Each structure stands twice: as C-alpha cells, then as structure tokens.
C-alpha cells in the first residue's frame, strides 16, 4: 500500500442524476487532505464511496489498500469517520452513544472522555436534546476518540463555534503529528488553509484542481480594505499581485492575490487607521477560477478605480492532475 486513499476514474450516478464523474486522486500517508467544493458538488458522494456506503458506477477506490466497496468493513477497521450532521438515537445520551460506537470500533468504553473534555461536551445529555453545535461535537469526539490511521470527516465543523473550530484544528494538527492521515471535506476555505497540506477542489461532480495549500492560496484573491490617515502617495500599491479595486481619498479597497507580505511591508511605511483582510468564500474562488467573475466581497464590480486583474486561462476541468505549480499560475 503506497497511498492511504486512491481513486481512479471514480464515478457515481444516481440513476440519471450526476453524483461524481471520473475522479482521480490519491492521499498520501500522514497527509491532511482538504476536499473542497460548494454544496452539491459531490463531496459527500465521494466520501460515501470511500466508506463503501455507495457502490461506484465506474472506476475504483481503495482505502488503506482495500477495495472501498467489496472490503468495506475490513477497511473500516482503519477509519474513523465524522459526518456533517451526526446522527443520533433518541434513546441514548452522548456518552452512551459514544460508548456504543467505541465498542463497535474495539475501543474501551469511555475512550472518548479526553476529547469530550477538550470540546466541553456534556456526555450525560441525550444526543437528541443537544443543540446543533453540541451534536456536531459528538461527531468530532467520535472521530478522534480512537487511533485509526485514517480520519474521514465530512464538514465536521459546521455548527461549531470559533473556539471549538480552533480546538478541532488543534486535534487535526495532533493527528497529523501522530502520522495519521486526514481526509477533510469542507467549504470553509480558511479552515482548510490552516489544516491541510493539499486540497482537491470538486465542482459539478468533477475534480477541477488538486493542489498544495500554497498553490491554492497563490491562485485566489483576498479583499483588503484600508482606511488611511492621509491619501496614499502615487504608486503606493504598485505591486505585481495587488490591484486597486476602489479608491477614494483615504479609503482604499485592494485585491491581493497570494502572498500578502509585500503589501504589508508597503503599508508599514504609511499611517494606517484601519485595515481588514477578507478571505474570499469558496464560491467566490470558484467564480474567479472557473466562471471568470471577479471576486468582490461587497459585490461591486472591480475595475472602476483600478485595472481589472488579468485572469488568465481557467484550469482544465476534470483533469484531476496535481497542479501544485499550475495552481500558482492560474489567474495570473
């Protein structure tokens, strides 16, 4: 077994409805792999194929060297899974449900306690009565309570408060430090940026990008809003990866692609009253990369007060090739 997860031509149709099409990717041992895409893109379908819940319509997927469909239960011995909306049994408290799942995974009852304490989960409340966020905690605790070599998580932080999201990221970092592999589906780009080594982007059922996080960051734009003490000198923002979207006296709205450090160095030379940097939503990145739209968090068109970014060629759809270098080029 060289790869923890391998998918080759993986395809799923639900009757005539598209699930995913011809996915090729792999996840290396010890890697945190982010799987990004908007709702309906095929993230959950991919995860369910990897877990052997769905039978592929075409292609093949293996986890830990085992066929995802034919050897699902053997493969599950090495997988810890958390879904986007963890299910529950009305009859069970969080602790009882976690104990039940621990026993099924060959873990000792109470194996979940340490993680539950970190996430401030009350184990004595029936899962049915927990809030959405607390129910999500049950899912996260369940994923991290064992020592399985592969963690598969489908939007595990939806509903978690920022404090718990941070704790989740710490748990992911610890798992990576332990040499475990993480497959993390999300449409929370900042979360993926912080947690993942590589990302795959799926859209309309096709894998349109597999890249390192650095590569992805280089390919998308951030919005930087400045309030300056005095109007900026001419040429202040003349940087290769910076475009002035709007500028009126002391208020400046910039678009920055990739590395923000050159801009920050420039800003250190002038008096800045306020600054905000907004990471674009996943959908905006998709618009930028694939639809040719300019990412404008406030919805205003770019180019009124500055040159529109040169978008460059869109990545080839469905190629599924690793684009570490290509991602950095995309949009330039």
Partner 1 sequence: MSAAFRLELRRGRMLVLWMGLVTVLYAGGITLFYPTILKNAAEFEKLLQVYPKELMAAFGIEGSLGDQGTFFNSYVFQFLWPLVAAIAAILLATRVAADADRGFLDLPLATPLPRLRYLAASIAGQAIAIAAISAVMIGSILAVDLVIEPNLETGRLILSGVHALAFGLAIAGVTTFLAVVFLDRGRAGGLMAGILIVMYLLNVIAQLSPDLATLARLSAFHYFNVKPLIDAGTYPLGDSLLYLGFGVVGWLLALAAFRRRDLTA
Q: Summarize as ranges the residues that interact with partner 1 (CB under 8 A).
A: 14, 44, 48, 51, 53-55, 72-74, 76-77, 79, 81, 83, 85-91, 97, 100-101, 103-106, 142, 152
- Of 18 and 166, nearer to partner 1 (C-beta) is 18
Q: How far is the CB of 71 from partner 1 (least distance, A)?
A: 11
Q: CA–CA separation, 244 vs 247, rounded Å?
A: 7
Q: How far is the CB of 103 from partner 1 (least distance, A)?
A: 4
Please list the residues that pair with 63 across neighbouring strands: 5, 66
Per the document, the length of the chain is 332
- Of 105 and 166, nearer to partner 1 (C-beta) is 105
- Of 128 and 266, nearer to partner 1 (C-beta) is 128
Q: How far is the CB of 68 from partner 1 (least distance, A)?
A: 12
Q: CA–CA separation, 321 vs 315, rounded Å?
A: 10
> Quick one: tokens of 240?
């290769």
Strands, sheet with 242-248, edge to edge from the N-terminal-most edge strand: 242-248, 251-257, 221-228, 272-279
Q: Apex CA 35: angle with CA 33 and CA 38, to 5°?
A: 160
- Of 81 and 237, nearer to partner 1 (C-beta) is 81
Q: How far is the CB of 88 from partner 1 (least distance, A)?
A: 6
Please list the residues that pair with 242 across neighbouring strands: 256
Q: How far is the CB of 145 from partner 1 (least distance, A)?
A: 12
Q: CA–CA separation, 157 vs 159, rounded Å?
A: 6
Q: How far is the CB of 53 from partner 1 (least distance, A)?
A: 4
- Of 58 and 87, nearer to partner 1 (C-beta) is 87
Task: Give every CB contact of residue 265 below 8 A, 6+ residues apart in sequence.
Answer: none
Residue whose C-alpha is closest to residue 237's, from 215, 270, 209, 208: 270
Q: How far is CA 113 from CA 58, 94, 221, 258, 325, in A?
A: 41, 11, 41, 41, 43
Residue with tokens 């748990």: 171
Please list the residues that pair with 243 across neighbouring strands: 255
- Of 58 and 190, nearer to partner 1 (C-beta) is 58
Q: How far is the CB of 138 from partner 1 (least distance, A)?
A: 10
- Of 72 and 214, nearer to partner 1 (C-beta) is 72
């Amino acid at each position: 077994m060289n790869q923890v997860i391998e998918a080759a031509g993986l395809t799923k149709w639900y009757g005539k409805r598209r699930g995913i099409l011809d996915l090729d990717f792999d996840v290396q041992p010890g890697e945190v792999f982010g799987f990004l895409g908007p709702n309906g893109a095929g993230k959950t379908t991919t995860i369910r194929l990897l877990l052997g819940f769905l039978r592929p319509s075409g292609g093949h997927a293996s986890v830990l060297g085992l066929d995802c469909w034919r050897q699902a239960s053997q493969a599950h011995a090495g997988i810890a899974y958390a879904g986007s909306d963890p299910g529950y049994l009305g009859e069970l408290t969080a602790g009882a449900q976690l104990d039940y799942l621990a026993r099924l995974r060959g873990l000792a009852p109470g194996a979940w306690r340490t993680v539950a304490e970190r996430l401030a989960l009350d184990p004595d409340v029936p899962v049915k009565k927990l809030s959405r966020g607390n129910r999500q905690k049950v899912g996260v605790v369940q994923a991290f309570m064992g020592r399985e070599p592969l963690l598969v998580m489908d939007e595990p932080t939806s509903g978690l408060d920022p404090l718990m999201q941070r704790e989740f990221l710490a748990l992911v970092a610890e798992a990576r430090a332990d040499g475990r592999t993480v497959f993390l589906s999300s449409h929370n780009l900042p979360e993926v940026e912080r947690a993942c080594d590589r990302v795959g982007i799926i859209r309309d059922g096709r894998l349109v990008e597999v890249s390192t996080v650095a590569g992805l960051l280089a390919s998308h734009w951030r919005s930087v809003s400045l309030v300056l003490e005095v109007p900026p000198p001419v040429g202040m923002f003349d940087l290769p990866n910076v475009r002035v979207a709007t500028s009126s006296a002391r208020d400046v709205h910039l678009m920055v692609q990739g590395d923000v450090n050159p801009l920050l160095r420039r800003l250190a030379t002038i008096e800045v009253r306020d600054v905000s940097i907004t990471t674009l939503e996943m959908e905006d990145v998709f618009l930028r990369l694939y639809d040719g739209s300019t990412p404008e968090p406030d919805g205003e068109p770019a180019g009124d007060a500055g040159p529109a970014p040169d978008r460059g060629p869109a990545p080839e759809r469905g190629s599924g090739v690793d684009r570490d270098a290509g991602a950095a080029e995309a949009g330039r």
